[in-house]
Every structure is written in C-alpha cells, then in structure tokens.
Structure 1
Amino acid sequence: MSVIVTAVLVVVTLSAYGYARSLDGNIRREAPGDLGEDRPPETGALNVLLIGSDSREGDNKKYGALSQGLGERTDTIMLLHISPDRDKATMISFPRDSMVMIPSCALPGGGTKPAGLGQINSAFNDGGVTCTIKTLEAITDIHINHYVKVDFTGFKGIVDAIGGIQICLPKAVNDPKAKFVLGPGKHVVSGEQALGYVRTRYALGDGSDLGRIERQQVFLTKVLEKVTDGGLLTDPGKLDGFLRAAAGAVTADPELTLLRMLEIADSVSGLTAKELKGITVPTEPYPADKNRVQFRQPAASDFFARVRDDVEVTVTAGPSAAPKVKNEQVRVQVLNATGEAGKATKVADELAAQGFVVTHVGNAAPAPATTIRYARKDTEGPAYGDAVAARLSKDKRAPVAGKVKALTADVYKPAVTAANADATARPAVPRPTGPVIQLVIGADWPGVRVVSTIPDSLKDKVVDTTTNPCL
C-alpha cells in the first residue's frame, strides 16, 4: 500500500497535467458490484483497501500453473487508514487465515453464496472485490472508500523500478514454494527475491501468517522510506520508471480517478514514512483448527472502534487565535444525565487518561443533549470548554451537541446523591489554576475521541521505520 500511496504523493508534485493523465490511463479499472445500502457511514477519514492477489493467470503462471483457472484469493489484505487530519497513517493487516462471518455475496457466474463462517481470504475467490469489501465493512464497521489490487508480477515491477529494498535475514533461507533462496545477513532484493521475501512463510520465523505479515509491513515501510528519502524524487528517469510501473501494476476502482488521487496527494503531502504505522488485528488460535486464527475479543472490537472514532478534523488556528489550552490545564466535573449507571466514571477515566484533571463525577437531571458549561464569571471559560469539546467524537452516527455555554451561577453545584455510584470526588491531584469546566453527558453522548488509533495494549506490535528488520 505504501507503494501506491507514495505514487499518489509524487503525482501531485508534477506540474505536467498531461503527463499525469497518461499515468492515469495505465491503471486498470474494475468497479465493485452492489455493496448494499446499509454501509458504515463516512467519518472524514480515508480508508483504502489493498488486495495482494495470488492469481496464477497470465504472467503469474510460473507461480503455480496447476492453479490456473481456479480463481484468485487475497494473498495479502491490508487497510490503509489515514486520519481526517491527514497527519497519521495506520496500515492494518488482516491475517488471511482468519475465520470470520462472510455476508451473503453474489457469485461471478450468477447466483448467490449464502452468509456463513469462512476463511477471510476466500471472500475474494467467491465474490471478488465486492465480497471482500462487504466482509471487511461487516466485521469492522469501517467505511472503505477505495481499493487497489496488485498481483505478483505487478509487485515485482514496482520494486524493480525503485532499485530494490534492503532486507535482513537472521538465517539462511531456502523456500522452493516462494522461490526464495538467500543467505543470512543484509541484502538488497528486487524482482523474484523481493517477491519471495514477502511471500515466504514456513522458512522464516514460526511459520505463521502473522510472522509473514510483520515482514510485509517492515518491507512496505522501507519502500516508502526509500521513495521519500532516497533521492527518487530528484531523479527524473527513476521517477518516471517508478510512476509508470506503479500505474501499470494495479487495478483500482473507477472512483479513484486522477482528480481523486491529486486530492488525496494534496491532503497528505506532509505525511512521511515516519507517520506510517503497521499493526495486525489482534488474533488467537481458532479452536476448531489450530492452523487458523480468529479475532481476539474484546481487543479486536476495541481496536476497530478506535479506528472509527478517529473522526475529528483539527481546525488550524489563525494568527490572532488565543493560545491553545492544554488538557493538563483543564479541571473538569463530569455529570451523568443519561441514567446509565457508571457512565460518568467511565468518561472521567477516559478524559483523565488524556491529561484532564477530573475533580468530580456525579449525576445530573436527565438531558437529551450533551453540554459543556462554565461559570459566567470565568472569562477563560470558553477556551477551556473548547479544549474539552475538541476531545469529543464527531461521528455522524451520534452528532455532538457539545455546546460550550455559560452558567447563570458563579459556583457549580452538581446534583449528587448518596446512592449514585457516579457521585464521588476524584483522588487529590495537583490542581491547575484555570476555570472549572462542567461536562454534562446527555442522551446523544458521542464518546471521547481517541488520541491514537492504536491502543497501548497493542503498541508492542507496531511496525514502523524504527523496527529492526533483522529481527
């Protein structure tokens, strides 16, 4: 995916519109079928599905002639999630051996395959890209905007065009199935060797698809790093070869037009390899077959929720804007007006984890709308209230009232009852000197926006430019 994203980034730097149009004409187009009406809503984020096809048709025949005519599966499934701010990119990998519920899908030759449990990569073989998108949206509740498909031959052409990528092997590898034979240590690989490195499974690590996924993520971060920092952009000949190889190597949806690519490239122009994080969906062994995995719960669902909640676009302050208020400067009272037991405590903990100083949790009279309030005498109240409002999700499924307004009284008197589990003072902590902000959680409560798509529990699984490829 970093190969395609990098190509898009480069296109926007070219002033020759005709040249860009010629590149666009080299991309094969294939529209998904009917994805249904009950799709997840868009949130402002950009989600692009990368499909690595294992097709043996055409130039891919030598990777398994006996598999010709048997369709194609997704050898690699990744979802590139770019935040609405376009300042962070998360590359999410789905193990091909994952057992998931696949929705009902139309078959290419006619008819319909009923919904049922299956291996995630079979969705592509059964119903093509349409079934793959429907499956991923069903299990993640994340709206997929575009897709890009790359086959074995296309991948080789792209890596060749950038002059290869350096890898590091902890031991000698001899994998006839992946056509990969190489000694230990560091090597610059291209062509067949590059393809073999990302395909090999049993000859490296523990033989699992999870180990292969991590190598693929490391490889892709190195591709993006080399393209953006390796001098490619200043070498017209190499740049032209890379762009033409990338355009000719992929199949994409018709909506991923030249104008759309330029729009994306412009929005992520400040994104570099350092902002790209790779993560694999949390899994565990599938009880009925130890050679398969299933999503580990609740970790997987929590992770997908964090991706969906990354929905607020930061508004850039103008030259005359007031200094930004830091979370640590804000004292917050959290009041539950939903009637749901423990709601204020949960929200208070989420805000405290982001640095806010929560001084009190309690109940308030039932209210339909979430509000943020401050004492009328506090002239800094609006700015401090905005700091809290900025951490509330703006998911279209739960619009935020989030109105910051002044109270008529100068002193807060939260409604507190002895029987209310939410009614309590927070542990003593150093108190900032700014105004106290009161957050009243209404029935339309949208949730607290996450700081990072990747939760702390999965941080040790992240692959980025600092990951040691020799491991």
Structure 2
Amino acid sequence: MILASLAMFGLYRLAHRYDQTVTREELLDPDARRSRTDLDGPLNFLLIGTDRWRSSSATADRRSDTILIVHVPAGGREAFLMSVPRDLRVIIPAAPGFGGGEDKINAAYQHGGGGESGTRLLSATLAQLTGIRFDGAAKVDFSGFRDVIDHLGGVRICVDTQFRSIHTDRVFTPGCQEMDGGTALDFARQRYDLPNGDYDRQTHQQQLLRAILQRTSETSIRTNPVRLDQVIRAVGNSLTVDTNGVPLADLVLTLRDLPADSLRGIRLPSYPLTVDEVSYVVLEEGGAGIFTAIQNQRVPQWARANPRWVTQL
C-alpha cells in the first residue's frame, strides 16, 4: 500500500510538473461541452489531428486531417476509438463569416477559421450530428508527434497489405515492423493505393495511437528519467487541450490503468456516395445505433453485436 501510494503520488507530481508544457484553449463549443465537476462514470473526448506539417504557411493549420471520438466506459479499463471520415456529409452550424450549410465534416474546421475557433465549430457539428457531449478535447500537431515517436525509440506496427506512399514513394510491406517517427506518420497519412481508401487510413491512425500507448507503457520508458522527460516535453509541445475545467493531473490519474491492448477501433457505420460529382461519405441511418450506445453507456455491448464495424488493432 505504501509503495502504491508513493507511485500514485509520483505520477501526480509528474503530471502536475508538465501541466505547463501543454497549451490550453477553449476547443469545445458550449453546445458540445458536458457539464461536470469530476471524472466519475464514462468519458467522451474529441481528438483532432491537424496537418500543419504540410506547410509552414499561416493557412496550413486549416484542415482537420484526423477526427476521433474517444469513448472510455466507466472504470477506465478500456477505450473505443471511433474515427469520423473526413468526407462525412454533415450540416455545419453557422459561425462568424460562415452562414452554415451542408459540407464535408473536415470543412467545419476550415469554416471556423482553424485553430481554436475551428475546433469549436467542428465540435458543435459533431454534437449536433451525434447528440454526444464531450468531457474534453485535444488538438494534436502530428509533425510534433514525429519527435514523440523518435524519443520513444520508434513504435511497432503491423502492416496488413502492401502499398506505396504517394508522399515519400516508400513501399510498406505486410508484416510487423519497427517504425521511426517519420515512417510511422507516413504510414498513418496514406489513403491512396489502399483497398478501402480512407477507411484503411482511419484504421492505420488507430493502430498508430495504440502503438504509441504500447511503447509508453513499457518499463524501459517509465524507468528512464531522461527519455521520459524528452517524451513528455515532446507531447506537451505537440498538444493543445481543453480538459473541461478538470486538472490535467487528475485526468492522467484517471486514465493511468488504461492498457494498450484495451483499445478498440470502431469504423463509423457509413458508406461512400457521389452527389453532384462530389465524393462524400454518408452516415447509415442513426449511425447504426452507435451514438445511442455511447449515450446509454452500452458501447461494449454494441461492439459485440456489430463486429463488422469493429477494427482489429
């Protein structure tokens, strides 16, 4: 009990120490924010990955390359990563300089002006579509996560099908392999030359998050203070968060027992559709019940009943 208490105290102090390295913004729209004062019960988080690495221009941070809804059932022992297709056809609410209307969901970030305001409009769009309210949000600069992966010593990812990257001309061959930061991000960015296009890219992004969590949980990282310091600082430099008023240290403690093998990938029930020569992804009626399952705290049961939408990580 004494050792456990000391370990928990050390984790809390560590999280508190690096609290200042993370940028804080109001990423959630008021209509997308769940009002609560603690972390008891199920949790819903919005994770946005931006593509600032593509350019150094002032407008580079105007596209949300990755949109994930992370659902953690009560107890914090497993988590479901639900990827939202970038081309999902939605109704985007009005915002300053934008009158609202139908568009692809990744355009919500752009219509909102990118950054803090863009994320708020995106969160409002998702809340309107799904009925889900969020306990927090994070915006990730994936160019910075290249450094995180390199400080971790790389990550192990299993490639299921051969494809060539259009970004680097690198060929990914089937099999489990160690990847450095640049290779892993290239793997997660690719959507062309894949059997299922953007759906496969969503799975690869989920695999990358699992691989990062797996590597950070290894004893060699946790017991090496230099590498741990490098990793946490790199994460802090790449992350903008909205913890909904909850101290970051409390959030870290709540999720400390989440093992990498407890992550479950979910493909949002949807299908591709061309409308007026524009390619969209269209949501199945009611999202095939996934949004209701999140609201009613029955996602594990939904996943068992709908294996076709569960991806293997």
Q: Provide TM-score, normalisation by structure 2.
A: 0.83
Q: What's the offset of the Cα at 1:91?
A: 1.1
Q: What's the offset of the Cα at 1:222?
A: 2.0
Structure 1 residues 231 and 76: CA distance shift in structure 2, 3 A: same
Matched residue pairs, number? Answer: 297
**Aligned counterpart, 1:14:** 10
Q: What's the offset of the Cα at 1:96?
A: 0.5
Q: Which amino acid aligns with 2:242?
A: D
**Aligned counterpart, 2:302:** 454
2:192 is paired with a residue whose SS is coil
Deviations 1:49-76 (A, max 9, x none): 1100013xxxx3xx246x6536511100
Answer yes or no: is the 8 Å Cα contact 2:12–2:253 preserved in 1.
no
2:150 is paired with a residue whose SS is helix
Structure 1 residues 303 and 292: CA distance shift in structure 2, 3 A: same
Q: State the alpha-carbon separation in 2 of the partners of residues 460 and 230 from structure 1.
A: 35
1:271 is paired with a residue whose SS is coil
Q: Which amino acid aligns with 1:220?
A: L
In structure 2, which of residues 187, 206, 210 is the aligned counterpart of residue 221 of structure 1?
Answer: 210
Structure 1 residues 73 and 13: CA distance shift in structure 2, 3 A: farther
Q: State the alpha-carbon separation in 2 of the partners of residues 217 and 266 from structure 1.
A: 23
Long gaps (5+) in structure 2: 1-6, 113-117
1:14 is paired with a residue whose SS is helix
Structure 1 residues 23 and 268: CA distance shift in structure 2, 3 A: closer
**Aligned counterpart, 2:259:** 272
Q: Does 1:163 align with 2:153?
A: yes
Q: Does 1:292 align with 2:280?
A: yes
In structure 2, which of residues 216, 222, 227 is the aligned counterpart of residue 238 of structure 1?
Answer: 227
Deviations 1:414-451 (A, max 9, x none): xxxxxxxxxxxxxxxxxxxxxxxxxxxxxxxxxxxx37
Answer yes or no: is the 8 Å Cα contact 1:49–1:144 preserved in 2.
yes
Q: State the alpha-carbon separation in 2 of the partners of residues 88 and 170 from structure 1.
A: 24
Structure 1 residues 240 and 170: CA distance shift in structure 2, 3 A: same
Structure 1 residues 286 and 457: CA distance shift in structure 2, 3 A: farther
Answer yes or no: is the 8 Å Cα contact 1:165–1:222 preserved in 2.
yes
Deviations 1:140-181 (A, max 9, x none): 11111211111132121111121111234456543243x351
1:214 is paired with a residue whose SS is helix
In structure 2, which of residues 44, 53, 78 is the aligned counterpart of residue 47 of structure 1?
Answer: 44
Q: Which amino acid aligns with 2:248?
A: M
Long gaps (5+) in structure 1: 1-10, 311-449
Q: State the alpha-carbon separation in 1 of the partners of residues 160 and 250 from structure 2.
A: 42
**Aligned counterpart, 1:122:** 107
Q: Does 1:31 align with 2:20?
A: no
**Aligned counterpart, 2:115:** none
Q: State the alpha-carbon separation in 1 of the partners of residues 127 and 172 from structure 2.
A: 41
Q: What's the offset of the Cα at 1:243?
A: 1.3
Q: Aligned ranges for residues 85-234 of structure 1 at < 5 Å?
A: 85-106=75-96, 111=97, 113-127=98-112, 128-169=118-159, 173-177=163-167, 179=168, 181-184=170-173, 185-206=175-196, 208-229=197-218, 231-234=220-223
Q: What's the offset of the Cα at 1:290?
A: 6.6
Q: What's the offset of the Cα at 1:234?
A: 2.3
Q: Aligned ranges for residues 430-469 of structure 1 at < 5 Å?
A: 450=298, 452=300, 454-464=302-312, 467=313
Q: Which amino acid aligns with 2:110?
A: N
Q: Which amino acid aligns with 2:90?
A: V
- Report the structure, 1 or 2, having the larger helix content: 2
Q: What's the offset of the Cα at 1:139?
A: 0.7
Structure 1 residues 239 and 253: CA distance shift in structure 2, 3 A: same
Aligned CA-pair RMSD: 2.8
Using the TM superposition, name which of 90-99 and 230-239 deviates more. 230-239
Q: Provide TM-score, normalisation by structure 1.
A: 0.57
Q: State the alpha-carbon separation in 2 of the partners of residues 88 and 210 from structure 1.
A: 22
**Paired-residue identity, %:** 28
Deviations 1:388-413 (A, max 9, x none): xxxxxxxxxxxxxxxxxxxxxxxxxx
Question: Comparing both chains, which one has the higher relative contact order based on Cα–Cα distances under 8 Å and sequence gaps of 6 or more?
Answer: 2
